[in-house]
Amino acid sequence: MNNDNRFGRVSMRVLTLACALAFGAAVLPQSITVAVAQEKEKAAKGPSVGNKVGKPLKAAQEAMAAKNWKEAKLKIDEANAVDGKTPYETFAVTDMLAFVQVNLADYAGAAKSYESTINSEFVTADQKPGRAKSIAQLFYQTKNYAKVTTYGPMYLKDNPSDSDMQMMVGQAYYLQNDFPNSAKYLKAAIDTAEKAGKTPKEDWLQLLMSSEYEQNNVPGLTNALQKIVAIYPKPQYWEQLIQMNEKEINDSGKFDLEIYRIRMAVGAKMEPDEYREIAELAIQAGLPGEAQKAMELAAASGAKTERDTRLTTMAKTQADSDKKTLAQSEASAANAATGEPLVKTGEAYLTYGNPTKAIELIQAGLKKGPKDADRAKLRLGVAQLEAKQSSEARRTFNSIPAASPYGKLAKMWALVAASR
């Protein structure tokens, strides 16, 4: 197997996609309109305005009721032109202006108008978080991401369970190349959604992956990949997770066959040369049944070389012979001093499509004590998966210690089991 780490190339595709997704998030003007209207209604219960300002504002309100937003804007401008306005009159005019600007889709103007009122004495403490949220949404719509990361956290301080706003702030940090803060808020959004019993969105997890990648945060990226494959077990995510772990797991090449087995189980794209290598490794491991299956897949992918013919013939010949002696091997294994022959015979049954028999023999071998108990557990878990015993398989994989040479393999197989 080629142990070159192709992760960087794959990840850049995720990065590009995540960036596109970040720009694709849109503010819902209606939600902002409602928020502004509610704040305007509360503010109207405060101090009153004089006749010079009140008259055009009343006309503006009438135009607003008729949804004649351009006329409303003209009347508000008229009120704004009055000299000597009181602080409250200035606030009332600006507040109403923000509402009208939203309905005119002038989000940049609305954001600035609304922002100018956030610290007003006429905005109560309980009104400020909602106002900060609307300002953040408006600034996001106009791509003023620095302002989003000012007002979004201000709102979240009082509303820490708003995963959508956490996500918006995370996106805004990402688009400013502040990847540590981006990851912080993205993880908060995902955690909040999960605590609320909701499934995190795929694009949220993609963006988190990109944020961790940009920091070269390998543990963070691995965690993000593990989470995304558990929820959205697509081959491309699996391929990246396997590549992330491959060098550490398989630096010596000892686990080439194990890596291939996981890739096949998750539907990763395989090349004819890889199927040939699987066949050769399986023959070396004394598992001609697995080699025969690999060469069948190679043929299905268009492989028709002389080497293919040789490997196919070798695998079939050995498999035919092996099947004839399986019952004898089982009887001999039952009388062996250790459990290793039982495990090996169970593996053989697994390659011939009999996971039930494989489970029985491997479990018996584990009771007697095989040469490598962790490896036997890994094979048992795979057999349980093949037998559609996903819960049992997860327990088996999770019983393999993290420090074991098979620990990382077991963790990935446990994720496979969790997705089935």
Closest among 144, 189, 187, 181 to 164, alpha carbons compared: 189
Examine the fold and report which residue of 281, 299, 324 is the final residue of a domain before the chain moves on. 324
One domain for residues 28 and 41: yes
Structure letter (DSSP) for residue 84 = T
One domain for residues 112 and 158: yes
One domain for residues 31 and 158: yes
Identity of the amino acid at 340: E
pLDDT at residue 251, rounded to an integer: 65
Instruction: Report residue 231 as tokens.
Output: 């929820």
Domain containing residue 375: CATH number? 1.25.40.10
Mean pLDDT within 168-187: 98
Per the structure, how many domains does the chain have? 3
Q: Distance between CA 250 and CA 63 in Å, rounded? A: 72
pTM of this structure: 0.78
In a domain, 236, yes or no: no
Which structural domain, as residue segments, surrounds residue 365?
Answer: 326-418
Examine the fold and report which residue of 278, 294, 324 is the final residue of a domain before the chain moves on. 324
Instruction: Report residue 398 as tokens.
Output: 């999770």
One domain for residues 164 and 179: yes
pLDDT, one tens digit per residue, over 319-374 is: 999 999 999 999 999 999 999 999 999 999 999 999 999 999 999 999 999 889 99
Pick from 37-51, 277-291, 299-313: least confident: 37-51
* No. of helices (H) and no. of strands (E), the chain: 23, 0
One domain for residues 280 and 383: no
pLDDT, one tens digit per residue, over 91-120 is: 999 999 999 999 999 999 999 999 999 999
One domain for residues 176 and 271: no
Mean pLDDT within 32-56: 66
Residues recorded for the chain:
420
In a domain, 73, yes or no: no
Pick from 48-57, 107-116, 225-234, 242-251: least confident: 242-251
Examine the fold and report which residue of 262, 289, 324 is the final residue of a domain before the chain moves on. 324
One domain for residues 295 and 341: no
One domain for residues 30 and 43: yes
One domain for residues 167 and 276: no
pLDDT at residue 46, rounded to an integer: 56
